[in-house]
Structure 1
Amino acid sequence: MDSLLFWLVPAASVLALCFAYYFHKQMMKESEGTPQMIKIAAAVRKGAMSYLKQQYKIVGWVFFGLVVLFSIMAYGFQVQNAWVPIAFLTGGFFSGLSGFLGMKTATYASARTANAARTSLNAGLRIAFRSGAVMGLVVVGLGLLDISFWYLLLNWAIPADVLSPTHKLCII
């Protein structure tokens, strides 16, 4: 656990999140274009956020139901490890956060990409690819961060003679 190889994973997750932040900031510096483009982009953002809010309501209820089910299985019937419901909560939180940040970035990037493409194809593609990379980097960064957190927590909280490393990885 204390090897250099392990610490590369959380370092890579932080690096991925830093690059995502950098790409997002660079994209936000670009112009949204004409007043009509800005108006359309604002409407698209509003619609996308309304959609995401509605989607997260449904997903939230399913997520809550699964947390209850996993809790009953872990604490009531004791057929799975007690850490599983908590790990499911953190994973679900980071997943939802990734989706939210990805949607925000995509809706802010659309008009900026179209406006840059009016100037040159290269400028439009640069904004589009970097904005798309934000979502991928956030998903990977938060996922690795969550897994690293749980790996460290389980190694610290549960001695090796109580639960084998293989079983600890099954919880994650």
Structure 2
Amino acid sequence: MQHLSPFETVSIWAVFFVSWLGLAYGLFLVNQVKSKDMGDDKMRKVWNAIRDGANAYLKKQLKVIAPWIVILTFVLFFSVYLVPPTEDAKIRFEGMSDQNIVLLLGFGRAIAFVMGAVFSLLVGQIGMRMAVQANIRVAQASRSSFSESLKIAYRAGTITGMLTDGLGLLGGTVIFMYFGTAAPDALLGFGFGGTLLALFMRVGGGIYTKAADVGADLVGKV
């Protein structure tokens, strides 16, 4: 973390520590949710069908997104020739030739993009799987206690938030730790990777949710 002030260095380490706290709390909530009762055999039969549908959607989503990750990784690598290194980057890596700085930042952007995409994909995959795990437990808990069912639902939803914050802060601080004042050059890739995958999952998840609503309406009419 060269060329950073003592306050900036301490702040980065503090954020790094907080990111791990968020991830640890998310893991704690996963165990909390999965420890709850899953109900009787009839409930599990319906839940198994929901789980199979969710797993099929997640697998298809991964197949669609994976090629785009590969293509855009190369695009982000070569983007350094369109968006040249900043003056801060040249100062951070002083002593290196301009060509080597360009190559280093190109690899940095590409790796940061992959890291952002993988983190975003992890949040989406784990978040949806935990939602599936929670729905049967919420239904079972609601048979005896509204308060308990609400707690399970909130805990399941909080998992996605903790993973989003934890992985986002972790990725950003790791980039700052290596690149120092040149971090904005690499953060471009990290932010693009995270938001791109979030966009894919937002659109795909909306379609999946709409299909579930239509199915529920048909069941009610039948």
TM interval, shorter chain, is 0.7 to 0.9
In the TM superposition, residue 131 of structure 1 has moved relative to its aligned partner by: 0.6
Task: State TM-score, norm by structure 2.
Answer: 0.68
- Corresponding residue for 2:154? 129
In the TM superposition, residue 114 of structure 1 has moved relative to its aligned partner by: 0.7
- Corresponding residue for 1:162? none
1:45 to 41, 45, 51: 51
| Residue 138 of structure 1 pairs with residue 141 of structure 2 | no
Q: Superposition RMSD on alpha carbons, in Å?
A: 1.5
Q: Write out the 4+ residue segments of structure 1 that deviate beyond 4 Å after TM superposition.
A: none
Unaligned runs of 5+ in 2: 84-104, 188-222
Pairing 1:5-20 to 2, within 5 Å after superposition: 5-20=11-26
Q: Which amino acid aligns with 1:100?
A: Q
- Corresponding residue for 1:160? none
| Residue 79 of structure 1 pairs with residue 82 of structure 2 | yes
Unaligned runs of 5+ in 1: 156-164
1:106 and 1:170 map into 2 onto residues whose CA distance is 36
Q: Which amino acid aligns with 1:79?
A: L
Q: Which amino acid aligns with 1:134?
A: I
Q: Name the larger-Rg structure.
A: 2
1:168 and 1:148 map into 2 onto residues whose CA distance is 9
2:136 and 2:49 map into 1 onto residues whose CA distance is 11
Q: Which amino acid aligns with 2:109?
A: V
Paired positions, count: 159
2:109 and 2:185 in contact (8 A); partners too: no
2:184 to 166, 169, 172: 169
In the TM superposition, residue 4 of structure 1 has moved relative to its aligned partner by: 2.9
Task: State TM-score, norm by structure 1.
Answer: 0.86
1:48 and 1:120 map into 2 onto residues whose CA distance is 27
Question: Matched residue of 2:37: which SS?
Answer: coil
1:58 to 57, 64, 75: 64
Q: Percent identity?
A: 30
Q: Which amino acid aligns with 2:69?
A: F
In the TM superposition, residue 24 of structure 1 has moved relative to its aligned partner by: 0.8
Pairing 1:111-122 to 2, within 5 Å after superposition: 111-122=136-147
1:68 and 1:132 map into 2 onto residues whose CA distance is 35
In the TM superposition, residue 154 of structure 1 has moved relative to its aligned partner by: 1.0
- Corresponding residue for 2:76? 70
User: CA deviation digits over 1:74-121, x for unaligned, max 9?
Assistant: 4xxx23441211110111111111111111111100100111011111
| Residue 102 of structure 1 pairs with residue 123 of structure 2 | no
